[in-house]
Amino acid sequence: MTVLHWATIAPFLLAILIPFFYKYARRIHTGWFVLILPLVLFIYFLSYIPVTSSGDTIMNSVPWVPSLGIYFDVYVDGLSLLFALLITGIGTLVVLYSIYYLSKKNERLNNFYVYLLMFMGAMLGVVLSDNLIVLYVFWEVTSISSSLLISYWFHREKSTNGAQKSMFITVFGGLSMLGGFSLLYVMTDTFSIREIIANVDLVTTSSLFLPAMILILLGAFTKSAQFPFHIWLPDAMEAPTPVSAYLHSATMVKAGIYLVARLTPVFGGSAEWFWIISLVGITTLVWGAISAVRQKDLKSILAFSTVSQLGLIMTLLGLGSASLYFDVGAEDTLYTTAILAAVFHLINHATFKGSLFMTAGIIDHETGTRDIRKLGGLMTIMPITFTISLIGLASMAGLPPFNGFLSKEMFFEGTVNATQFGIFNMETWGMLFPVLAWVASVLTFVYCAIMFFKTFTGKFKPENYDVHVHEAPFGMLISPIVLGSLVVIFGLFPNLLAYSLIEPAMASILPNLLEPGQQFDVGISHWHGVNTALLMTIGVIVVGIVIYLMMKKWSKLPFYLKERDPLNRLYDNGVSGLISGSQAVTRAQMTGSLRDYFVYMCGFSILLLGYTMYRYDAFAIDTASTSSISPFMWIVALVFIGATISIAFVNHRITAVIVIGIIGFLLALLFVIFRAPDLALTQLLVETVTVVLFMLVFYHLPDLQRRTAKLRFNILNLIISLGVGSLFTAIAVSSFALGQDANFESISEFFIENSKELAGGYNMVNVILVDFRGLDTLLEVLVLGIAALGVVTLIKLRFTGREDV
Amino acid sequence: MIELMLVTSLVLFGLTIAITLIRIILGPSLADRIFGLDMIGITLISVIAIVSILLNTNVFLDVILIFGILAFISTIAFGKYMERGVIIERKRDS
């Protein structure tokens, strides 16, 4: 266990201690104890920047289940460091924010911080693990802790519903991902991502390449809320705002992005990977932007905008994966722009979306509502919140001089470059990307404008609010101010990040492209100059303003009024259909009638055994070694059969008992004829006792009912009984014949020879029962004892339930 | 010669059992059927005896004795059921 390992699991360790802090230090807000940890971790991870920016990586391994190839490997390269810094950095700010957001008196802070720390640790584990199984374990812990956090106010029905939905969807994806990882293991015989990348030829040439890819992508898409799995994210907004800011904007939803980026060296370069990710990403981008425009709740707007922005990043990762295509050669730089934009926007999105969620939380906290139809005129009342929101929204809309502008420019550049690809049919379909990207950006601009102007401009109406509206306390403002200033700083000085974080991250997404010692040209400084992207941005701003000004007209349209995502209906109907469908299936076969179950069992036995016999051609008849039958035997057998058949037609129960008694007697006779005196004796005794028992309970039984069942059922029963009878006859005959063929010697010779010599008895049956195989007899005696006890208990405890045995 | 006689008698006993079985199945009253059961039991005792002679063994003599007792017991059980409706009477019932 190295320091890195301890850093990864430190949040879990602290989570154990949180309830004690909460209980024994009630006067101090529990969050203060938590705050230290992410801060320390953040500083600790900052110390790795020199290492990764010089192109080095760090790998520490601790065996967990070595026999299965599962090692707790912690691996730090540019990509994981970037995510680790995001997680701990924003984690610090979110904890600080939550200290002021959640009241010490009214909230169960111990629950909150335990879940939050669990989540933080799991997220660190996801990004730092090199072993796929360990990554999966942490991945599922993020799902669980996210659901716990969404249902933090568990007495609200909406919270629990949202938690359930997110759990279903993300765990569905997580399990598919596990399948994909297993396939990767099958292909490469290792769970280590490093080694898989090193043996990437094994993967690309395997027939399991596509299944593994799709399964893993399902996991990434569900976690990162890609179309059509994005529906859980808006419902997750029932969580407390710090949670929304942390999980549902900055970290957890980026786990899927991380996974795609991490596995790009494995799957990238193939047309399927390129098209699936790009198309899903661009669909999510447009769909999220369309949905965000029609939301009326601040957090819902932000949720859909998160969906949309994640789609953007995903599209860029998809487009950028083309640079791993082996034929592209010198045109590399065209495609790597997309990856650069993806990484840069990832950072930018985390900063501005985090600050926006926090300001939305502040507005909610100080006004009591998040509905944009009620809000308005908050500019002068909440000046600091206003400023931060302005910065965040302008950045999200892609306005200069904030960082969103830069990443949007690069996004346009990436999509325009994509049209120049000479691969994957891009020359025909490539135009799709810039056009859709542009439309989505216009919509993004529109919802940012709506969010800004509806909240802060207009007239202030005090009657809309239940509480006295005022600026938030300073403590709550610290975190959004920090994030807002980062937005500005990254906007003005993008190259602060370029070679410290972005270039190493790109190097991990696109390894093997660089010669040793070479670096990607992180051309963020190239943002001067008039090019297509700049013209597109100007177009976005102009058209966006026009659309916003015409809002009065289109806000009457049904499109704007329908808030719920139509895919929710699909999900809801799917869930209720699944429930009612499975109930219907259960009801159809679980009738509660033993007769039906017996039909299933017998029918299944016939099919299974019959098919097995047919499949292996096991029917055989051997008449050579059978013995002769005397005429008397024929008569006994015929009487036997006649008595058996007549039972089916007997209408009176006592007659049935008598006939069964006769069959028992005849069976005893058969034992006599086949020279088994002990068996005959026992059979007689048992038969008599059975008949007497029948007579004992007889008095309490109703008469046999007249046969009222339909003929159809009788025919089915007849077929099944005939089937069982003939099948087992066939099996018996065949096994006799095959047994003759196999010609094994019987072991009874041993008993015949040794029953006198070894056991000192002449009665061989009894010697076997009590000597050679006495254990069986012992347990049979036990069975009888249990049966007797059972009868006594049943009779004695019949009515009262008292223990009076 | 004696073996032929024994086999013939076995066949005849077999026919007896078959005919009695028909009586049991058809038998209009319960008493007919119980008699049939008793009769089959007695017939089987004879059959077992003849089979013992045929097989030239005496290990089935126990079976014959037991069979006599058991046929009696089951007939009694049925008879008692016919008369009282129950087989074992309890003291508090009387």
Q: H/E/C letters for each residue in A272-316?
A: HHHHHHHHHHHHHHHHHHHHHHCCCEHHHHHHHHHHHHHHHHHHH
| A704 vs A110: CA distance, rounded Å | 67
Contact between A618 and A738 under an 8 Å Cβ cutoff? The reply is yes
The one-character DSSP state at A371 is B
Interface test with B, best of A630, A635, A640, A682 (most B CBs within 10 A): A635
Q: What are the chain A neighbours of B59 within 8 Å (beta carbons)?
A: 677
Site of tokens 């099958």: A186
- What sign has the CA pseudo-torsion A176, A181, A226, A428? negative
Long-range residue pairs from A734-742, CB within 8 A, at least 24 positions apart, any chain: A734/A613, A734/A618, A734/A619, A734/A620, A734/A621, A736/A622, A737/A620, A737/A621, A737/A622, A738/A618, A738/A620, A740/A622, A740/A624, A740/A625, A741/A620, A741/A622
Rg, C-alpha atoms of chain B: 17
Q: What are the chain A neighbours of B33 within 8 Å (beta carbons)?
A: 654-655, 658
B51 → closest Cβ in A673, A692, A696: A673
SS3 state of residue A100 = helix
Q: Where are the domains of chain B?
A: 2-84
List, for residues A101-148, the tens digit of each pLDDT value: 888 888 888 889 999 999 999 999 999 999 999 999 999 999 999 999
DSSP for A147-189, please give it: HHHHTSSTTSHHHHHHHHHHHHHHHHHHHHHHHHHHHHHHHHS
List, for residues A558-580, the tens digit of each pLDDT value: 766 676 777 888 888 988 999 99
CB atoms inside a 10 Å sphere around CB A467: 10
Q: Would you give the distance in Å from CA A805 to the centre of its chain?
A: 52
Closest CA of chain A from B4, distance in Å: 12
Instruction: Give the helix/strand (H/E) hosting A64.
Output: strand A58-65
pLDDT of residue A708: 43
pLDDT of residue A114: 92
ipTM of the complex: 0.90
Are B10 and A632 a contacting pair at CB < 8 A? yes
Segments in chain A below pLDDT 50: 330, 706-711, 805
Are B48 and A669 a contacting pair at CB < 8 A? yes
Structure tokens at A660: 């069964």
Long-range residue pairs from A639-643, CB within 8 A, at least 24 positions apart, any chain: A639/A666, A639/B14, A639/B17, A639/B18, A639/B21, A640/A666, A640/A667, A640/A670, A642/B18, A642/B21, A643/B21
Residue partners of A192: CB distance under 8 A and separation at least 6: A71, A73, A130, A131, A132
pLDDT of residue A39: 92
Q: Which residue of chain A has the CA closest to B35? A: A658
| A176 vs A111: CA distance, rounded Å | 30
Q: What are the chain A neighbours of B67 within 8 Å (beta carbons)?
A: 668, 684
pLDDT of residue A329: 52
Are A655 and B24 a contacting pair at CB < 8 A? yes
| A17 vs A23: CA distance, rounded Å | 10
B21 → closest Cβ in A630, A642, A680: A642
A677 → closest Cβ in B36, B40, B59: B59
Contact between A438 and A408 under an 8 Å Cβ cutoff? The reply is no
CA angle A256, A309, A496 (to 5 degrees): 90
| A188 vs A203: CA distance, rounded Å | 7
Are A691 and B74 a contacting pair at CB < 8 A? yes
Are A684 and B34 a contacting pair at CB < 8 A? no
Q: What residues of chain A have any CB closer than 8 angstroms to a CB in chain B?
A: 630-632, 635-636, 638-639, 642-643, 646, 650, 654-655, 658-659, 661-662, 665-666, 668-669, 672-673, 675, 677, 680-681, 684-685, 687-688, 691-692, 695-696, 698-699
Are B37 and A662 a contacting pair at CB < 8 A? yes
Contact between B36 and B27 under an 8 Å Cβ cutoff? The reply is yes
Q: Output the CATH code of domain B2-84.
A: 1.10.287
pLDDT of residue A44: 92
Q: Which residue of chain A has the CA closest to B12? A: A632
Closest CA of chain A from B92, distance in Å: 17
Segments in chain B below pLDDT 50: 94
| A765 vs A768: CA distance, rounded Å | 5
pLDDT of residue A805: 44
CB atoms inside a 10 Å sphere around CB A553: 9
- What sign has the CA pseudo-torsion A572, A575, A579, A581? positive
Site of tokens 């043996």: A199
Structure tokens at A97: 């924010």
B63 → closest Cβ in A638, A672, A688: A672
Q: What residues of chain B have any CB closer than 8 angstroms to a CB in chain A?
A: 7, 10-11, 14-15, 17-18, 21, 24-25, 27, 30, 33-34, 36-37, 40-41, 44, 47-48, 51, 55, 57, 59-60, 62-63, 66-67, 70, 73-74, 77-78, 81, 85-88
Instruction: Give the helix/strand (H/E) hosting A472.
Output: none
